[in-house]
């Protein structure tokens, strides 16, 4: 079984002063029983990776371009992220899908680029509130999974994060049964796609308003192998208890 994983997505937060949070995490968790990933903004990647180099904290990015290089002003390629010290990249986050019009096919192209650069692709899926209320959640997740996860995905180069759009930054979370239903669907669809062994080993994260107070309940749900955390990953004092809560289940 692949180690469980807690990933922090800093989104567009953080300046050099906040690198101290990564140093604090590295010091607090010298030999964790789970994997720890922090994805700061691209401006901090190289410094964060340098700081975390000899620690158990992996540094990742929040997006990449699908091409390795070229005339793409403002974009950053997967090989560039790897060169800066990233070991992973978040792809298809709902904020990218909504505000940057990223579709499943583009997410799959980016994931292929990430794999080629040796990065773990953390591929995000999730339904909107309107889709959930229309009872479309399972078909939306199935379609996203089918088209966003490229062939060649394995338990070591890919992580799937289920993030209901309506739960992100809202303080709302699905019921345990709703999370279990979606994670179970993802696991079974991955088994059809990649085979049972790979599907069992591939880590499925839940994301959306995960906090120290609700982490234990979420980590007890079937097929939840960790979390993708936004707001509560910005401060080590909030993120650390989430790490320890997942460790207690490992």
**Nearest residue (CB) to ligand G3H, 202 versus 232:** 232
Nearest CB to ligand G3H, comparing residues 172 and 222: 172
**Is 10 labelled as part of a ligand binding site?**
yes
The 10 Å CB-count burial string (b at 16+, else e) for 112-146 is bbbbebebbbbbbbbbbeebbeeeebeebbbebbe
* 86 φ/ψ sector (left φ>0, alpha ψ -120 to 50, else beta): beta
Helix 236-247 with 212-219: angle, nearest 10 deg: 20
Task: Please give the structure tokens belonging to residue 103.
Answer: 């579709």
Furthest-apart CA atoms within the chain: distance in Å: 48
Residue 93 catalytic?
A: yes
Total H helices, total E strands in the chain: 11, 8
CB of 238 to ligand G3H, least distance (A): 10
Cα separation of 128 and 124, whole Å? Answer: 13
Name which of 198, 197, 245 is nearest 29 in CA terms.
245
Closest CA to 96 of 73, 51, 63: 63
Which of the residues 171 through 210 are near ligand G3H (CB under 6 A)? Answer: 207-210
Question: By CB under 6 A, which span of 42-50, 193-201, 215-223, 225-233 interacts with ligand G3H?
Answer: 225-233
Nearer to ligand G3H among residue 79 and residue 230 (C-beta): 230
Tell me, by CB under 6 A, how many residues bind ligand G3H.
14
- Per CB under 6 A, does 230 bind ligand G3H? yes
Q: Is 228 in the site for ligand G3H (CB under 6 A)?
A: yes
- Residue 146 CB, shortest distance to ligand G3H, in Å, is 22
Using Cβ positions, the residue closest to ligand G3H within the complex turns out to be 230
Among 4, 5, 6, 9, binds ligand G3H (CB under 6 A): 9
Q: Which of 95, 102, 127, 163 is catalytic?
A: 163
Of all helices (H) and strands (E), which one includes residue 123?
strand 120-125
List C-alpha distances in Å: 129 to 168, 180, 195: 11, 18, 31
Token reading at 22 = 């990564």
Is 139 a catalytic site residue? no
Determine whether the annotation assigns residue 230 to a binding site.
yes
209 is in an annotated binding site: yes
The reply to whether 92 sits in an annotated binding site is no
Catalytic residues: 93, 163
What residues are designated binding site?
9-11, 169, 209, 230-231
What residues are designated binding site for substrate?
9-11, 169, 209, 230-231
Question: Which residues of this protein are in contact with ligand G3H, per CB under 6 A?
Answer: 9, 93, 163, 168-169, 207-210, 228-232
């Amino acid at each position: 079984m692949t180690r469980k994983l807690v990933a922090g997505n800093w989104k567009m937060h953080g300046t050099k002063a906040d690198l101290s949070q990564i140093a604090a995490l590295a010091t607090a968790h010298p030999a964790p029983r789970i994997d720890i990933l922090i994805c700061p903004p691209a401006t901090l990647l190289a410094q964060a990776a340098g700081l975390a180099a000899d620690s158990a904290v992996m540094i990742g990015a929040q997006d990449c371009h699908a091409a390795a290089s070229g005339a793409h002003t403002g974009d950053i390629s997967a090989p560039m992220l790897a060169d800066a010290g990233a070991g992973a990249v978040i792809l298809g986050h709902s904020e990218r899908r909504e505000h940057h019009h990223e579709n499943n096919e583009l997410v799959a192209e980016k994931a292929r680029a990430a794999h080629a650069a040796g990065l773990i692709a953390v591929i995000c899926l999730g339904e909107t509130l309107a889709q959930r209320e229309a009872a479309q959640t399972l078909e939306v997740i199935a379609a996203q999974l089918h088209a966003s996860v490229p062939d060649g995905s394995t338990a070591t180069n890919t992580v799937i994060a289920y993030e209901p759009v309506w739960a992100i930054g809202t303080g709302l979370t699905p019921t345990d049964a709703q999370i279990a239903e979606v994670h179970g669907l993802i696991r079974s669809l991955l088994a059809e796609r990649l085979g049972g062994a790979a599907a069992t080993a591939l880590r499925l994260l839940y994301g959306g308003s995960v906090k120290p107070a609700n982490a234990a309940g979420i980590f007890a749900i079937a097929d939840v192998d960790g979390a993708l955390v936004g707001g509560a990953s910005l401060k080590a004092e909030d993120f650390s208890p989430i790490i320890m809560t997942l460790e207690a289940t490992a």
